[in-house]
Structure 1
Amino acid sequence: MNAGRATWSAGSVILLLLLCYFWIGLTPFAHSDGKGGLPSTGNLLNQMVIIVLFTMAIANLWRNPGRSALFSPHALLVLILLWFCFVSLLSFDPATAFRRIVYALLVCGCANAALLLPRDSRDFARVLATGTVVILLLNYFAVIAMPTVGIHGSNEVEAALAGDWRGIFGHKNAAAAGMVYLVLFGLYLRKASYPRLGSIIAILAVIFLLFAGGKTSTAMLPAVLLLSWLFEHCRPLRALLTIGLVIAMNVILIGLSSSPATSSILASVGIDATFTGRSSIWAFALARISDAPIMGYGFQLLWGSEFLRDITTESWAFLAAHSHNSFLETLLNGGFPALILMILWLLILPLRDAGEAFATQNDVGLTRLFLRIWIFSILLAGLENLFFVNNGPLWFTMLIAVFGLRLQAGASLQSRQ
């Protein structure tokens, strides 16, 4: 192997640090109560670390001609952030909202910069392989050596989850979703210079996924692989397979959960029509949205706030940490204007970019990785709060896919011979 290829560049080291920060965090074995609340942007250490990582990434890219791709599409992202600033300014807690908006901006910058830091596709694959191995080892270590941390216990708030693996994640649902991403990483690495390691990563991630007990993520994995294959080979069906499926999924899930007749039918065949209690939270969120459909309640402010406790106690759902649906959450954060802008950014543009990327044959393996991550993320968004959840790996990884598809549509990581 060429010595130059074996050397870790400064950009590769920064990329590995970014992966470790978002996937592992500063306290990987210190879980919360598993409710999956809002990012701890008030934590001074986390704020300092993200600022340092963002600064390091930008400094490394300062002379890189690709730096113009940061925060692309620029105008759309500016509109999204400005709208969140505007509605938050009129909210009940502007200061908290602005801190979280700044944090969100830094996370977006880090995710976008992550793809511009490696020198070529071999560098990217090597960093991804290294980071993925470390993440998997820590998760298995938590399960085997620290089961009180790595496995849900019967003494927790959600006692029904006892025995489900969560590893270094705060909740088994997050662990299951994370393992799906790791499977996709492994499948990519199998084709990118690491055939044996990629296969081992994929197998270990699948095993962890099964023991995590995340039924939704487990069912979505084969669906994502099928949908990505169909997307690649059936061009006329691309919009239907992605945007159409997301719309249908959200309408059907929320509609089924709110219909007593349908709920009874589903219950009679052994299907949880509440979708693990989500139906009450969705109904509660829809009621709040109807009260503020245009402005929402400010960026990441509603759940857990004194404002919410003051206006209602009509349902236990007001105690929830979030709405368990990214589209409903966006409506709560910024109303319908925010939802329209987010759909343009996270659904419409990636759909177009993926099509253009496959048309250019620009490193098809990398495009396929980003496509699979994107499809899984937009499907998961119908059942979990994903957008702008800046702690943990899920939003960061989705951002990498969204920015990655845009880069692949017009450029590519170099492949050195």
Structure 2
Amino acid sequence: MSGTGFQETSAQDMRLRLGTFLFMALFLFLWVSIDPYVDLTGEAVLDPSAGNSNRLNQILALFLTAGMLGYGLLHPMRGIILQPRVLLALLYSWFFITSVISVHPMLGVKGIILSTMMTLNASIYLLLPASERHFAKMLGIGTLIMLGFAYYGVLFKPTLAIHQASELREPMNAGLWRGHFPHKNSAAAAMVLAAFFGLFVMNRWSRLAGLAIVALSFLFLVNTGGKTSTAMLPAILLLAWLFEKLRFLRIPIVIGGVGLFNLFAVGSAVFRPLGEFIAGLGIDATFTNRADIWRFAFSALAERPLTGHGFKGFWQTEELVYSGGTIETWAVAAANGHNSYLDIALTTGFPGLALTLIWMVVLPLRNISRIGPEHEHSHLTRLFIRIWLYTIFHAGLESLFFEGGSLLWFTFIFALYGLQLQSSAALTAAPAHVKRSRVAHA
């Protein structure tokens, strides 16, 4: 082997090792965390000023982001980082403006920094694997490790991995599994994503590992008591199948589906006739006590429809929690608005919501329409579409968007970038040393 060829092989091996390390490190940082099995019985969980982060967590996040950025800037496909840049610049600039003029500007600025870091990491994440099989292998191993932590907690740390009646915030969740996650709902969402991963792993790396992931994820999901996520798992699989097979239904499924879902959910809380109609169908018109929150959020949105109350500057602020408003409604103590679209409008106004919808709904639809026939029905495209559909529908009942440390937000964003790559790039099919002009490694 010539000296040049040896150097190229060594550089490729180094890139493979570094990519594998960064992929697994970031996956486990988000899906397991450095502080699993959180105690929910302490009074600190009721303090709105008590953050969920700590110094070590912040340092690790900065180091991981620096490593990801360094890897991305040296990658031949570095042009994809933080795309679409014009739209993201407009979106985050608007978020910054609404934060500066709000009562809590630093909360907004901190949230913008964390969200930008997460978006940066997600835009580089799919450049780390050397091939689609490598991607599936790392995804499968990481998911199995996550499931190991979840089941270990249930078996050996039940007081910290299963909701207890002694918890101060939601004692009614006693007996429901949460594993190493802070809440049953976050555990349920993670298990839905894990099931999607398992289906992909089963087809692209190991059938045994994939089946184990799907079975373990579903069993855990059922025991979380997360009714919404449990129902949405088969629903999204069906929707994704229809979305893939029937092109003419794609816009109605996404635009019409998300619109109607939010209309029936949030609208039933605001418009009494619609709420009575929903109740008449045998559906819980309060959507698990979210109706009070949505009514309160709508009244607050009406006060500032253009600029909102500032990014991250409304829920759980001291003025709101300690305002004495609990006499009128318990919603003032809510952790969030339990609807991502409503929360974005509430905190950044309708312009912020419009920019968000363009990035998360309109552009993915356009990218999917541009995917070539050879990749349109691939297992990889199917994975990204399932993640995307689940998140935009699930966002109608939970606040997910722009959450800096959220594994669901991160997974959603790298799925958006995956759809963008699928629309404009070819998959690696040859050995890594073969030069290609534009290759999406994952």
TM-score normalised by the shorter chain: which range applies? over 0.9
Q: Alignment partner of 2:77: what SS?
A: helix
- Who is 2:60 aligned against? 49
TM-score by length of structure 1 reads 0.93
Tell me how far 1:160 sits from its aligned partner. Answer: 2.0
1:214 deviation in Å? 0.8
Counterpart of 1:379, as a letter, is F
Q: Could you tell me which residue of structure 1 aligns to residue 213 of structure 2?
A: 201
Contact residue 150 and residue 167 of structure 1 kept, 8 A: yes
Asked whether the 8 Å contact 2:339–2:398 carries over to 1, the reply is: yes
Q: Cα deviation per residue 1:219-258 (whole Å; 9 max; x = unaligned)?
A: 1111111111111111111011112100110011112233
Q: CA offsets per residue over residues 148-172 of structure 1, 9 Å max, x none?
A: 1111111223222111111111111
By how many angstroms is 1:37 displaced? 8.1
Instruction: Identify the residue that residue 21 of structure 2 maps to in structure 1.
Output: 13
> What is the aligned partner in structure 2 of residue 81 from structure 1?
92
Specify the alignment match of 1:160 in structure 2: 172
Mean Cα deviation higher: 24-33 or 151-160: 24-33
| Cα deviation code 1:360-383 (max 9, x no counterpart) | 526811111000000000000000
Change (3 A) 1:229 1:358: farther
| Larger Rg computed on CA atoms | 2
What runs of 5+ residues in structure 2 fail to find an aligned partner?
Answer: 1-11, 432-442
Moved more, 37-46 or 75-84: 37-46
Query: Equivalent residues in 2 for 1:33-72 (5 A)?
Result: 40=51, 43-72=54-83
User: 1:332 and 1:39 mapped to 2: Cα distance?
Assistant: 23
Offset of 1:306 from its aligned partner? 3.1
Deviates more, 1:251-260 or 1:92-101: 251-260
- Specify the code of the residue in structure 2 equivalent to 1:110: N
1:317-372 Cα deviation digits (max 9, x unpaired): 01101000000110122100000000000011111212222545268111110000
Taking only aligned residues, the RMSD between alpha carbons, in angstroms, comes to 2.4
- Give the counterpart of 1:379 among 384, 393, 402: 393
Partner of 2:200: 188
> 1:363, 1:271 → 2: CA distance?
35
**1:284 aligns to 2:292 (yes or no):** no
For 2:48 and 2:141, the matched residues in 1 are separated by 29
Amino acid at match of 2:98: V
> CA 1:112/1:41 → structure 2, altered by over 3 Å: closer, same or farther?
farther
Does structure 2 retain, via aligned residues, the 8 Å contact 1:35–1:321?
no
Q: Distance in 2 between matches of 1:325 and 1:198?
A: 32
Q: Which amino acid aligns with 1:12?
A: T
Task: Supply the distance in 2 between the matched residues of 1:36 and 1:307 (Cα, whole angstroms).
Answer: 12
1:148 aligns with 2:159: yes
Q: Which of 86, 100, 114 is the matching residue for 2:125?
A: 114
Quick one: percent identity of the two aligned structures? 38
Compute the TM-score of the two structures, normalised by the length of structure 2.
Answer: 0.88
Partner residue in 2 for 1:128: 139
Residue 35 of structure 1, CA deviation: 8.6
Judge conservation of contact 2:126–2:418 (CA < 8 Å) in 1: yes
Q: In the alignment, which residue of structure 2 is the partner of 1:90?
A: 101
In structure 2, C-alpha distance between the alignment counterparts of 1:186 and 1:90, rounded to whole Å: 45
The offset of 1:264, in angstroms, is 5.1
Structure 1 regions of 5+ residues with no counterpart? none
Letter in 1 for 2:106: A
Instruction: Give, in angstroms, the shift of residue 36 of structure 1.
Output: 12
CA distance in 1, matches of 2:50, 2:17: 31
* 1:219 corresponds to 2:231: yes
CA contact (8 A) 2:72 2:81 kept: no
After TM superposition, the structure 1 stretch with the greater mean CA deviation from structure 2, 94-103 or 328-337, is 94-103
- Counterpart for residue 250 of structure 1: 262
What is the CA–CA distance in structure 1 between the aligned matches of 2:39 and 2:81, rounded to whole Å? Answer: 33
Q: Which amino acid aligns with 1:255?
A: G
Distance 1:266 1:331, change over 3 A: closer
Indicate yes or no: 2:354 matched with 1:340: yes
Structure 1 residue 185: deviation in Å? 0.1
CA contact (8 A) 1:115 1:404 kept: yes
Alpha-carbon displacement from aligned partner over 1:79-115 (angstroms, at most 9, x marks no partner): 1110011111111121232122111111111111111
Conserved? CA contact 1:327–1:339, under 8 Å: yes
Contact 1:389–1:395 at 8 Å: present in 2 too? Answer: yes
Q: Does the aligned pair in 2 maintain the 1:38–1:321 contact within 8 Å?
A: no
Letter in 1 for 2:21: V
| Counterpart in the other structure of 1:398 | 412
**Which region of structure 1 is more displaced relative to structure 2, 298-307 or 181-190?**
298-307
Given that 2:160 and 2:179 are in contact with CA atoms closer than 8 Å, whether structure 1 keeps it comes out as yes
Are the equivalent residues in 2 in contact too, given 1:39–1:389 (CA < 8 A)? no
